[in-house]
Amino acid sequence: MNSIINIIKQFLIRNRSQILLSKISNRFSNIISVDKTDLAWLKNNQSDLDDFLININTDLWQESKSIHNEINERANKILLALNVKLGGGASDKLLYFLVRLKKPNTIIETGVAAGFSSLSILKAIDFNKKGKLYSSDFPYFRLKDPEKYIGVLVDKSIYKNWKLEIEGDSVNIPKFLNSIEKIDLFHYDSDKSYNGKIKTFELVKPKLSDNSVVIFDDIQDDNFFKNLVTKNKYQFKIFKVDNKFIGLIESLK
């Protein structure tokens, strides 16, 4: 009997069924428990991204724009050749700017896909000559050999500052946290369910300091970001980029 159980366990692990079922469960609970997104609140609190960046540092904004264009040119060539549809990178300009500005030592991101955000962060780290990126992802089931597409845009010359794990946030994040003392910048763009966001934020929260920067993509999906910042009175900004909303927590004080 034990041998049969072990065989079943190995099958589930190989097919990532446990994580898949967890994702399905999270998405279902999200549908039944989360109230309608407060789009009026998002729009009333949104700022223009370029104006925000220019007011902080005009030269760095120009640099970030240039890198954003480079990344998109690279993406167009690579993804066109691959002929597959992967996730985009709505916040890569913001991420590059913040990493160059803040010069963080430790960055964690969830959700890699083709690697728009990963590439922007790693380019900034390479320029700063300091920092390390820990990336958490999970392969697309709809693609054949999906692992090979994760971070496909990232130039191998900057791999040295990158730690990538692809077993899902619930497995990857604890691995990362065991080896780091503090998270200076956290970027969330993975499980879109309300419960998934709660679970991941609760995992990383003990490693965040008052001065850590936190970014959530696709905050129009539900009221998670609104509830988080209003309940905790965090200082925040909201930007609309490519018909999506991005939430930036400037201070956790």
Task: Find the CATH number of the domain harbouring 158.
Answer: 3.40.50.150
Please list, in sequence order, all residues whose beta carbon lies within 8 angstroms of the beta carbon of residue 115, skipping any fewer than 6 positions away.
Answer: 150, 151, 152, 153, 154
Of the two residues 83 and 35, the one the predictor is more confident about is 83
Query: Is 33 among the domain residues?
Result: no
Mean pLDDT over the full length of the chain? 86
Task: Please count the CA atoms within 13 angstroms of the CA of 49 that sit on its side-chain side.
Answer: 24
In a domain? residue 98? yes
Within-domain flag for 3: no
- Note down the domain range covering 238: 39-251
100 within some domain: yes
Are 133 and 104 in contact, with CB atoms under 8 Å apart? no
How far is the C-alpha of 235 from the C-alpha of 229, rounded, in Å? 7
Higher pLDDT, 33 or 42: 42
**Residue 9 domain-assigned (yes or no):** no
99-119 pLDDT, tens digit each: 999 999 999 999 998 899 999
Residue 10 lies in a domain: no
Mind listing the pLDDT tens digit for each residue in 194-234?
A: 999 999 999 999 999 999 999 999 999 999 999 999 999 99
Is 57 inside a domain boundary? Answer: yes
Residue 11 lies in a domain: no
User: pLDDT of 48-104, one tens digit each?
Assistant: 999 999 999 999 999 999 999 999 999 989 988 887 666 666 689 999 999 999 999
Domain count, the chain: 1
